[in-house]
Chain A
Amino acid sequence: MTQPILVCRDLSKRFGHTAALWGANLELREGGLLALLGPSGCGKTTLLRLIAGFEMPDAGEIELRGRLISSPSHTVPPEKRGVSMVFQDFALFPHLSVGANVAFGLPRGVNKQARVAELLALIRLESLAARMPHELSGGQQQRVALARALASEPALVLLDEPFSNLDPSIRADVRDEVRHLLETVGITAMIVTHDQEEALSLAGEVAVMMDGEVLQVGTPGEVYARPVSRRVGEFVGAANILPGKLEGRQVECELGRFAVDAGFSGLADVMFRAETLAISAEGGVAAEVTDVDYYGHDQMVTARLRSGAEVRLRLLALQPYAIGQQLTIAATAEPLVFPRQTPPG
């Protein structure tokens, strides 16, 4: 295991009476790509701005390559950190050409022309060096912003919701391209996003953030399959929660009795991912279809169980379902269990 390149320790930051960060901890490995995932207002952008040096923490510290760059009493200004940022709106300098944008951060003594040409080749925009930013498409602007951030070979690149300003039809392509680019260059990068699919598909590691705290860090698979809490689980993907009861290594709920590995006993929230529920020919519980959202490649079918609880099933769109239709439902995988929470409100 390599030494972490970035360490954030117990960071807190309030704006007036509002706490944006509340003891956040995070580590980043050299060369890794981490997605910071959380709902809007969870403090992820504040954490990014603290790392970039645009805000100062009220408590805690940040180290980059073993050097203290931020603490309440000591702060290295943004321009001396070697951390560059790609903004949500790309923030290309509107009065400078594409080439001049990319060259902006290059230190004196570097052969600027050669380096700019090299970077533009990397993003496949060699021919557009003389264009002005407003003459580019959204995807092209995005690539220029990234090339500009990579130009001076920073220790770390931060990307703040980099895909949210792009047309949905090209988002997936641009995402793949950005990941490929970051891997080619071999740079350490951190991407802030509120989009689960984006975080899971893009990053080597996902950090889930809520209410100013980092709740879980892990590979996309770990975060999706083994969330540390019901809230993390519900945020990361479509989930059905049914009340249940744990006895020994068994949990019982309306969908049946399942073997689970839990460190507690008693009342439990039992979580089934929507894709782990299926229509069953032999055995299962009865349910009635109450809603269908059809997506083409698949569909989300909502069904009411006998108790009145509703569950959602992600099914292939091979067969249409009608509201009112009777089904038999069974779980195809073991559920996750969490200690019972009283629902908020």
Chain B
Amino acid sequence: MALALAQARDRLNRAPLILLALAALVTAAVLMPPVYLVWRATESSAIWEHLSDESTLRALGRTLLLTASVTATCIALAVPLAWLTGRTDLPLRRFWTVLLALPLAVPSFVGGFVMVSALGPGGLVQDLLAPLGVDRLPSIFGFWGAWITLSVVSYPYIFLQVRASLSRSDPSLEEAARGLGNGSWRTFWRVNLPQMRPPIAAGALLVALYSISEFGAVSMLRYDTLTPLVYLQYTTSFDRAAAAVLGLPLIALAVLILGLEGMTRGRAHYYGGAQPRPARTMELGSWRWPGFAFCALVALLGVGLPVAVILYWLVSGLSAEGTTSFLAAAAVNSTLAAALAALAAAIACLPVAYLSARHAGRLASFFEKASYAGQSIPAITIALALVFFAATYATPLQRTLGLLVFAYTVRFLPEALGAIRGALLQLNPNTEEAARSLGAGPLKTFARITAPQALPGVFAGMLLVFLTAIKELPITILLSPIGFDTLATEIWSATSEAFFTRAALPSLTLLLISAFAVLIMLRRERLT
């Protein structure tokens, strides 16, 4: 063991200098936006005035309230759903697993659009109820709308984590507990639930980070958390440092949540069994139909409602002209930007992934962790930092496709990194050494042995980046070149102006693309 560790250290020492330099460069590029934003904020003469301003504090309070309630709601929804679909004799388990994961495919601003256009003024429900003489509905705007929308689109993060861990976990632990005289319920509380803690924490981390950085849905539903405040400050005032200052609590919250997650992971390390066996299923008995109804209700809210609402607006807007040509341009732009981002992210994460897979050590692990920053730092702060940076140091880059792609890359690098690092870890390093001993130099070895074996993982990583970049909103709004409309900006502007029919087709397009991504993810996790 000591020898193996020492060998690993030795390998790091021999990591090619060029690889270390490239990895350092990528890490620096990823860390640049948040660091630059903090630095810009310190230039403001009135940091404390801005931070302690009543509107800031109120927005911070709303952000905290929304994040806490959405995270708690998601746990409360996801854990029973994962247990029902993973470990019980619930009818149609596989069908529910897929259906309950699908809300992940609904971008939050599409969720916002669905909510506003269904329950808002001039919306679907009002249209339907108007003949009955109902002309006022309880307002959907504010906390309740944002809370419901975000909970419904983000619970699958926890659902998938817990569901995957349930299908990996070793049933012999449960059998041991039962053998030691614990009943079904006691076993659940004492063995299964503690085992689910790491996946719940990991999923809750994602939900919490997602909630604080959420921009589209909260803006549409007019719940003014920090992100809309930052956006408002940026668009309406010339004091850019003030917008930067308002980004500080967002970054601080992200760091805080990362720290909290580290603490809740607990000290135990759970191992999967060497030979995974199908786990025991719990018999639901008379709870069977309530369980079924619960799954159906959540699926109806998460998948049925968005699809129905979008189709409603699509059909009622079919008579409108000019929609399709407009959409084609937006679709091309979206695809172009997202494809470039996928390519850039794959190339950028290669040195970091290779270093961490092949020369594991403290430095490699630092580069890897730092590269994940983009995922936790709220997108709007990344966008803002780059806007400021370009305006100050690189005016020709302002509002260019290049800068947009750079921002996407910083934000979505972790997705490519995870997939590519995984592929490299699965690659047997002996095949590389075998190639060397058969007379192939380092370059030929990389081209003929390493690259072809890693390619499926690289493609998977690129696909994930593509599919998430195409539905990104705040970065797209702030950094897109003038006149460069994308599907996301189309939905955003159409919804803000209450042109619900115009938002329907781009929404449906995005929904289909994202659904495709979710199905690929499910396949990779072997949940279906």
Contact = CB atoms under 8 A, between A and B. Distances in A.
A91 B428 contact: yes
B439 interface: yes
B2 interface: yes
Dominant SS among interface residues on chain A: loop
B275 to A, nearest CB: 18
B6 A16 contact: yes
Nearest to B434: A91
Interface string B1-16: 0110111011000000
B138 interface: no
B430 A20 contact: no
A74 B87 CA distance: 61
B452 A104 contact: no
A18 interface: yes
B6 A104 contact: no
A77 B3 CA distance: 24
Contacts of A15: 3, 6-7, 9-10
B430 A89 contact: yes
B3 A95 contact: no
A54 B7 CA distance: 12
Given A16-B5, A18-B2, A93 B439 contact: no
Interface in B413-452: 428, 430-431, 433-441, 448-449, 452
Contacts, number: 78
B453 A94 contact: yes
Dominant SS among interface residues on chain B: helix
The 8 A-B residue pairs with the shortest CB-CB distance, nearest first, are A105-B438, A15-B6, A16-B6, A91-B430, A78-B436, A91-B434, A85-B437, A87-B430
Nearest to B433: A54
Contacts of A80: 439
A52 interface: yes
A78 B437 contact: yes
Interface string A70-87: 000000011111011101
B435 A93 contact: yes
A94 B431 contact: yes
6 contacts: A14-B6, A77-B436, A85-B437, A91-B431, A91-B434, A93-B434
Nearest to A20: B3
Contacts of A83: 437
Interface of B: 2-3, 5-7, 9-10, 428, 430-431, 433-441, 448-449, 452-453
Which has the most chain B C-beta neighbours within 10 Å: A41, A85, A107, A149?
A85
A53 interface: yes
A151 B440 CA distance: 14
B433 A107 contact: no
B10 A16 contact: yes
Nearest to B432: A91
A297 interface: no
A149 B3 CA distance: 28
Contacts of A87: 430, 433-434
B425 to A, nearest CB: 15
A18 B3 contact: yes
Which has the most chain B C-beta neighbours within 10 Å: A18, A53, A149?
A18
Contact of B439 (A41, A92, A105): A105
A328 interface: no
Contacts of B431: 91-94
Contacts of B433: 52, 54, 78, 85, 87, 91
B446 to A, nearest CB: 13
Contacts of B440: 79, 104-105
Contacts of B438: 79, 84, 104-105, 148-149, 151-152
A125 to B, nearest CB: 18
Contacts of B9: 15-16
A17 B9 CA distance: 11
A20 B437 CA distance: 22
A83 B438 CA distance: 8
Contacts of A20: 3
Interface in A1-38: 14-18, 20
A211 to B, nearest CB: 13
Given A94-B453, A105-B438, 6 more contacts: A18-B3, A77-B436, A80-B439, A94-B428, A105-B439, A151-B438
